[in-house]
Structure 1
Amino acid sequence: MKKRFVLWTAVLFPIYAFLVYLYLFHMAGTGVPAAYQGTAADPSTFMTAKELELSQEFSRYKDFLFFIGIPLEALIYLSVLVFGLSPIFKRFGEGVSRFSIIKIPIYVLLLSAFTWILTFPIDYAERKLSVTYGISTQSFSSWMQDLLLSFWIGTLIMIILITVLYSLMKRFTKRWWLYAWVLLIPFFVFMMYIQPVVIDPLYNDFSRLNDPVLEEKILNLADEADIPAERVYQVNMSEETNAMNAYVNGIGSNLRIVLWDTTLNNLKDKEVLFIMAHEIGHYVMDHLYLNLAAVILSSLIGLYIAYRVLHVVIRKWGAGWGVKHVADISSLPALFIILSLLSFASSPAELAISRSAEKAADQYAIEMTEDPQAAVGSFQKLTVNGLSDVNPPALVKFFRYGHPTMMDRISMLEEYKEK
């Protein structure tokens, strides 16, 4: 099994990478459709020739790294199973303690660290790419600090979830997926509640918007939309990136309206107001709660399918991997592979729904602000600032884009201007 795994990986992965390269760099079209040429959606009307060239290069390299990374994590988990590392991780945890509350966290930590190390080259390549093309301004030490912080936060959360999950597996062999889903619901709500005030501040400094006039205008928009906000926050992102962003997140008393300082530095007030109206539109149309409901529903479906498939996988290959049964913590890499495949399979539908929600928020924002010129200007500056591809290849849009393309968004605004 080991030799076959190495052979097939050594043959198929380079072929896959080469096909991705051919598609992105030689087969996918990069031109602007005739219907958009010369319009505000045509990047040649608001980008220099050099910016156009850089945006094409940056987008293609970034997309290449994304598609290369898709099968990598699954291959790592499969290698842990095939080469017998999973039982070794388990025995190490058992050597420390025979209690599940100790040995399972040790296993999760070892698996997470092993995966983190092997995926680090992709993370570093993405960082290097962003620095080379002037998107990231973050120092290597600061970037490493954030990366390690993400690792420990993610691992801690994973330890809690996996410890509970495998305890349920042992106690309820046929209904663990259902009980796990029931417990996930309050967890999702809790994470959504604490994200703005506990997790986000670990990475960046948040402060009250230092422009009281602009803050008042934004709060007036929020008040018009019945958003219970008393202040607008700005976050210091200019030390890390040149990209721009704004968002409304959190629920209840922890709801926050947030602007990156890069957005404030690069956009005019009217353009900022359009961006904020877009984010307010998500709140007004309950996209935050609909997204939460979608996550809850998809987790139910995913856990049930994983329950069915995991039993089949362990029954067929478990003995060769040294995995005794489904509730054995050594089966975790197999569970992760199944969940990764389910996530990949469902991502096009999820992204399509997201694009629809983003389009609705754009429409809400333009109707709220009634300033299409500022709206177009904000999207054009976002494109230039982030070296975005206004017309990405079809597969990139299908598997990556949770927003409509900039070409679609700007052309929608142009239609509004005509009306």
Structure 2
Amino acid sequence: MKKFLVILLSCYFVYGLAVSIYIFYGSDSSLPVVYKGSAADPELFMTDRELELSQEFSQIKNIIYFLRIPLEWGAYLAILIFGLSNAFEKWAKKRKFFIVQTAIFVFFISLFVRIIYLPIDIYSYKVSVAYGVATQSMASWFKDVAITFLVNLIVMTIVIATIVFLLKKAKQKWWVYTWLLSIPFTVFFMYFQPVIIAPLFNDFYELQNKELQSEILELANEAGIPAERVYEVNMSEKTNAMNAYVTGIGSNLRIVLWDTTLEKLEKDEVLFIMAHEIGHYVKNHLLLSLLGSIASTFFGLYVSNRLLQWSLNKWGENLKIHSQASFAIIPALLLIFSLLTFVSTPVSNVISRYHELEADRFAIEMTKDPDAAIGSFQALTKAGLSDVNPPTVVKWLRYTHPTMLERLIFLESFRNNSQ
């Protein structure tokens, strides 16, 4: 165990050093010369101090992201190798009911991973506050962490209980039945998330500016969105960043604006942002995301099953996992899920960036106001201290949206072509 711990910490140190060298010295996020003086040139819409803060903030956040990735893997490995998985299972099985046993086991696993994450998450929070992006108090931040932990505990208990039950009853086909059950669960979650989960973190209320609401609903009606009202959310209590989104399905479909967006953008800029979000609905991105999630879950579970069987055959005895249908196997499965999610991230990000660009194109064609569009993205860059042209690896792994360079150059090209 000591040898494993030394190797694990040594690898993490070397990895962290390599990441820091790449972010600070091996990557180039400067604006290409050809775009100097364009709408994407941050020197035209940011002060020298804002440019300095943006570079520092982006570099620190990128390092935090990369340092955070292997912590989950290390946590699951430690649980398996140090025998914690078997200990957690013994404590859980002192209770009578299977669902209670599952909840106890998931609680210990989740708590262990949460503790591993906590120092770097606190540092990330403090960095965001120090750079003026976050405005949330420490007490409020811890409250959100606790709510997230409890929500994940409930969801994970249901998921893990289902998987362990199917591992017992259908050893070879458990992953097929898990996938089939995941479909209605995913749809159910998408339907109720806007009205049950989201309000746990923030207050949602009908948009106070009735004139703006009328114009947004007019855009929605023109695009065929069956929305009856626009919601405002009090994000200014937590951040200076801006955002808006369309979420939910069926009768729970919602158009949501952060109050920071309303405070910092002009009306025409807000309308462009909303046209972008409406574009996601019109282009069926919500449905495509749902179908993509269902498809990726199928392949992910299939690969996970193969990797799990291989791992058990190779290391099962050493890890004292004597049965496939036991709680002790769950950390191995969660480790596999996490690794597969990481490997698939660049692909899912490419798809997401394509959808975002489609929504940008829809919004500019709908509003025909490139100046407002450019102004909105420049304001978003300033408020979030975003990197206009992030390093390539960072873009692959972190960016679900096109870079601000790509978005602003696209909008400027549209403006030039329309003149």
TM-score, normalised to structure 2's length? 0.98
**SS of alignment partner, residue 321 of structure 1:** coil
Match of 2:403 in 1: 405
Match of 1:57 in 2: 56
1:227 aligns with 2:214: no
Aligned match for 2:257, one of 254, 259, 268: 259
Structure 1 letter corresponding to 2:2:
K
1:41 aligns with 2:40: yes
**SS of alignment partner, residue 16 of structure 2:** helix
Note if contact 2:99-2:157 (Cα within 8 Å) is conserved in structure 1: no
CA–CA separation in structure 2 for the residues paired with 1:147 and 1:58: 22
**SS of alignment partner, residue 96 of structure 1:** coil
Q: Give CA deviations for 1:167-223 in whole Å, capped at 9, x if unaligned.
A: 011000110000000000000000000011111111111111110111111001000
CA RMSD of the aligned region, Å?
Answer: 0.8
Cα offset, 1:324, TM superposition: 1.1
Cα offset, 1:325, TM superposition: 2.1
1:111 aligns with 2:92: no
Cα offset, 1:280, TM superposition: 0.2
Match of 2:13 in 1: 14
Structure 1 letter corresponding to 2:355:
A
Match of 1:298 in 2: 296
Note if contact 1:379-1:410 (Cα within 8 Å) is conserved in structure 2: yes
Cα offset, 1:126, TM superposition: 1.2
Runs of 4+ in 1 over 2 A off after TM superposition: 99-102
Cα offset, 1:312, TM superposition: 1.1
**SS of alignment partner, residue 127 of structure 1:** helix
Cα offset, 1:104, TM superposition: 1.9
Match of 1:323 in 2: 321
1:121 aligns with 2:122: no
Cα offset, 1:333, TM superposition: 0.7
Q: Give CA deviations for 1:36-64 in whole Å, capped at 9, x if unaligned.
A: 10111010110011100100000010010
**SS of alignment partner, residue 247 of structure 1:** strand
CA–CA separation in structure 2 for the residues paired with 1:213 and 1:237: 21
Match of 1:269 in 2: 267
Structure 1 letter corresponding to 2:177:
Y
Match of 1:391 in 2: 389
Cα offset, 1:350, TM superposition: 0.4
CA–CA separation in structure 2 for the residues paired with 1:292 and 1:179: 18
Match of 1:80 in 2: 79
1:344 aligns with 2:342: yes
Pairing 1:143-292 to 2, within 5 Å after superposition: 143-292=141-290
Choose 59-68 or 321-330, whichever is displaced more: 321-330
Aligned match for 1:100, one of 98, 101, 104: 98
Choose 9-18 or 180-189, whichever is displaced more: 9-18
CA–CA separation in structure 2 for the residues paired with 1:359 and 1:101: 44
TM-score, normalised to structure 1's length? 0.98
CA–CA separation in structure 1 for the residues paired with 2:112 and 2:26: 36
Cα offset, 1:29, TM superposition: 1.1
Note if contact 1:278-1:365 (Cα within 8 Å) is conserved in structure 2: yes
CA–CA separation in structure 1 for the residues paired with 2:65 and 2:400: 15
What is the count of residue pairs matched by the alignment?
417
Cα offset, 1:96, TM superposition: 2.6
Cα offset, 1:6, TM superposition: 1.4
**SS of alignment partner, residue 328 of structure 2:** helix
CA–CA separation in structure 1 for the residues paired with 2:169 and 2:19: 45
